[in-house]
Structure 1
């Protein structure tokens, strides 16, 4: 970045001012595309559904970043339909002529490849989160595939399982409710549950069924399992809070809420309320507000040439973000700082939330960054 000032949206600031502004979560970078001046890009977020409370908070974070740079922000929702999700992104690429920055949570793991390939072909910058095939590498699509942000689903699935086992006294039967069968997060979280079960032989998995991340599906499945297993169910593990909410509604209808502990992931408001009431033993947050805002910021920094992605270290191209376990001990503090308000994001601190490298990360033959 040049020291003699930055131009964008009519603003002109020096490097020292820029860095000072970053401390307040502000960002003003010059917009150039392929080495020449062009109209400002469209910021695009692609997520599953705004009816999902987790993705609703993601959108809030994305809106906050868009406001900080004064750019238009468009949200695309797949509603759990991979074909729609990919088609909508391709349509937006055509509409913008590739002059866009995409922050995408692909509906399913295989969806990431056509999304990245379409963006690279159009000259659009893309950050993907949660889902991608292991051999889809950002460095193979320089400079357009900027980064992949994941969260260690194995560790998360194991952690909430261990907390559930403790809540039921270290022995007894549980049921598991999983996400989309070919979804990276769902696969990893189930593996974490299996690791916890292997280490705790006094816990028996009575059944595991897939509810596709949906509360309504989880409600129906749980009703059936409650009829089938009855009092043998001592606890319920769910791969996300939306499904765990469906589980909780089934338990409430059966008069078992608060007696059969439930665990989930995402720290949506209903999950946090359930932790506070004692109906959930725990939940876990990956900070969707950060995901929405910083996913766009990382792409924006690449598109404005504030960073040269080919020179970034491998840890900046593919990484796990930090997570927070939430129990009754810290739920009030979390709600105060992440629900009733959101912490100011420092949009120039692109890598401050990195927890570590991906497990089993694959590298390209000639790794560039």
Structure 2
């Protein structure tokens, strides 16, 4: 499809200075927040994610808290626990509580959730950044200036990459099983599409079964345990749409003494998966750096609210894009653990667009 020439502009590195603001403290419970009345007071920083029991989102919160600490602003994390109605309701309650004097960094629970969230934010004057899930016809530039950006990662590419690496580890033959995320989640859809594309190129590889585990480790463990009973030694590899499910499958393999014998792949770069790569139990994983995600979306909202840039004047490539990812294999896992797992790198949160990789393609 035709794409605006703006979409191909290289990402511009911005260096902005975050002005000091009055410290409000962090980690305040939503129910204890005072109503914000003064327009000249600092905005509340608000994060909305699925669950803190998910290692990926747990690291996201760590990044958000780190950004809040650096800026001295209050930060509240809302969790949906996989309930779309709760997620939308909690955000609306926070908008009311703050009189709209907040910025929001949100990973909508499901694709349809993004529209009512964005509409509520635009109506209240809240600057918002969405991740992963939104309808294809919902665009930031249709809600200027408050819908700043929507950010994803090329799920089809990542899904195909880990499939290719899995097939190599299987000797390019045999059967494998695949575990998907929430069926309506765009990341789950794209990663599965990439896996199927890789499968088409490997006629000696067969997909024994595909089931969804809703991004959850325990569900993946149960599914994998059933597969081991059903398929036994026919299973030569395990493809998982995220690491939490991949590590759940790995636990099932461990229970049968098969860890390291049946290769596993996943996506997210969570600590357990990275350690499994080092141990030879995972072939690879791909990280989108949830620590960076947690802070950069809040930084975009804060800078826009402070008038440091006008989202409406940004090129479209900066407002709807795939961000960069990092592939983690045995070749670079030691370095990755040292620099990204054992400690968190210093991130310039004011460099808003340095990880723009490509436009999002809607097929």
Q: Which residue of 1 aligns with 2:81?
A: 79
Unaligned runs of 5+ in 2: 1-13, 23-37
Which of 138, 141, 157 is the aligned partner of 2:140? 138
Q: Which residue of 2 aligns with 1:336?
A: 338
Unaligned runs of 5+ in 1: 1-17, 362-369
Q: For the Cα contact (< 8 Å) 1:127–1:295, is it kept in 2? A: yes
Q: How many residue pairs get matched?
A: 335
Deviation at 1:29, TM superposition (A): 6.5
Which of 18, 21, 26 is the aligned partner of 1:27? 18
Which of 48, 51, 57 is the aligned partner of 1:49? 51
Q: Which residue of 1 aligns with 2:30?
A: none
Q: Which residue of 2 aligns with 1:12?
A: none
- Counting only pairs closer than 5 Å after superposition, residues 40-119 of structure 1 correspond to structure 2 as 40-119=42-121
- 1:208 and 2:210 are equivalent in the alignment: yes
Distance 2:237 2:287 in 1: 21
Q: Which residue of 2 aligns with 1:321?
A: 323
Distance 1:351 1:73 in 2: 23
Structure 1 residues 168, 94: closer, same or farther in 2, change over 3 A?
same
Q: For the Cα contact (< 8 Å) 2:43–2:302, is it kept in 1? A: no
Q: Which residue of 2 aligns with 1:129?
A: 131
Q: Which residue of 1 aligns with 2:288?
A: 286
Distance 1:153 1:345 in 2: 24
Which of 194, 197, 209 is the aligned partner of 2:196? 194
Deviation at 1:141, TM superposition (A): 0.7
Residue 66 of structure 1 aligns to a residue whose secondary structure is helix
Distance 2:235 2:142 in 1: 48
Residue 149 of structure 1 aligns to a residue whose secondary structure is strand
Which of 256, 276, 279 is the aligned partner of 2:278? 276
Q: Which residue of 2 aligns with 1:15?
A: none
Residue 59 of structure 1 aligns to a residue whose secondary structure is helix
Deviation at 1:68, TM superposition (A): 1.7
- 1:221 and 2:223 are equivalent in the alignment: yes
Per-residue CA deviations over 1:67-118 (Å, capped at 9, x if unaligned) read 1211100000111111111111111011001100000011111111111111
Q: Which residue of 2 aligns with 1:3?
A: none
Distance 1:156 1:303 in 2: 34
Distance 2:144 2:55 in 1: 33
Per-residue CA deviations over 1:245-277 (Å, capped at 9, x if unaligned) read 110011011111110000001111110111111
Per-residue CA deviations over 1:297-338 (Å, capped at 9, x if unaligned) read 111111111111111001011000100110111111111111
Distance 1:310 1:118 in 2: 18
Distance 2:170 2:213 in 1: 23
RMSD: 1.6
Distance 2:39 2:152 in 1: 33
Distance 2:205 2:39 in 1: 62
Residue 192 of structure 1 aligns to a residue whose secondary structure is helix
Distance 2:47 2:195 in 1: 31
Residue 42 of structure 2 aligns to a residue whose secondary structure is coil
Residue 177 of structure 1 aligns to a residue whose secondary structure is strand
Q: For the Cα contact (< 8 Å) 1:54–1:288, is it kept in 2? A: yes
Deviation at 1:192, TM superposition (A): 0.4
Q: For the Cα contact (< 8 Å) 2:21–2:71, is it kept in 1? A: no
Distance 2:79 2:130 in 1: 15
